[in-house]
């Protein structure tokens, strides 16, 4: 039975690894869907545990909300160009102010999803100690974006999102290893 189980686990890793790569390939070509980023942690969880749980679904939901939120912020820089060229982007449809509010809502949903992820994954104090840093980085990103300064948006966008991902990684790993 042990050999069959290992073969089954390895097949699952190959299957989800392949599926994830195909999703990422489609993602890169279409540049419309951020689903590949949300599917990756779900597939990795299933590959490692052999089961689907609420925790990876919450993590996937958090990732998709995070990406959609920062994409909206970044897309506000293209508002004038999109309008002039007749591109019917979401930012053109909603306007800059409503797009930024939607991005705030998406990032709030991301934060809630990460809290639920922590609960369902049974993470501890180290993980939750990192969450205020994530919230502060998102607050900084939105505060800077609201000024509509192109250079500021670029800086906030890259610095905040790099910081959020690094803090999240360290918080999860340290919580599991300590």
Q: Under 8 Å CB-to-CB from 27, ≥6 apart: which residues?
A: 33, 34, 35, 36, 37
171 and 129 in contact (C-beta within 8 Å)? yes
- Domain total of the chain: 2
63 and 122 share a domain? yes
CATH number at residue 130: 1.20.120.1780
126 and 83 share a domain? yes
Q: How far apart are the first and last CA of the chain?
A: 33
96 and 127 share a domain? yes
63 and 168 in contact (C-beta within 8 Å)? no
114 and 168 in contact (C-beta within 8 Å)? yes
152 and 79 share a domain? yes
164 and 88 share a domain? yes
Question: Rounded to an integer, what distance in angstroms lies between the CA atom of residue 121 and that of residue 59?
Answer: 10
27 and 86 share a domain? no
Over the stretch 42-75, which tens digit does the pLDDT of each residue have?
Answer: 999 999 999 999 999 999 999 999 999 988 998 8
Please give the residue range of the domain that contains residue 41.
1-52
115 and 138 share a domain? yes
Question: Rounded to an integer, what distance in angstroms lies between the CA atom of residue 13 and that of residue 160?
Answer: 32
SS3 category, 53:
coil
Over the stretch 82-134, which tens digit does the pLDDT of each residue have?
Answer: 999 999 999 999 999 999 999 999 999 999 999 999 999 999 999 999 999 99
Q: Model pTM greater than 0.75? A: yes
Find, among 27, 32, 114, the residue nearest to 68 by Cα: 32
155 and 92 share a domain? yes
């Amino acid at each position: 039975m042990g050999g069959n189980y290992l073969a089954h686990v390895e097949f699952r890793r190959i299957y989800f690894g392949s599926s994830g790569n195909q999703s990422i390939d489609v993602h890169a070509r279409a540049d419309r869907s951020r689903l590949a980023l949300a599917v990756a942690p779900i597939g990795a969880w299933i590959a490692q545990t052999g089961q689907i749980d609420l925790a990876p679904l919450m993590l996937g939901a958090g990732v998709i909300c995070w990406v959609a939120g920062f994409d909206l912020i970044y897309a506000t820089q293209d508002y004038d160009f999109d309008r002039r060229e007749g591109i019917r982007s979401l930012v053109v449809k909603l306007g800059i102010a409503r797009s930024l509010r939607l991005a705030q809502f998406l990032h709030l949903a991301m934060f809630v999803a990460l809290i639920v992820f922590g609960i369902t994954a049974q993470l501890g104090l180290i993980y939750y100690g990192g969450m205020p840093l994530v919230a502060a980085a998102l607050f900084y990103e939105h505060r800077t974006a609201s000024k509509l300064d192109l250079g500021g948006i670029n800086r906030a966008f890259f610095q905040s999102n790099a910081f959020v991902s690094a803090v999240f990684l360290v918080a999860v790993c340290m919580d599991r290893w300590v």
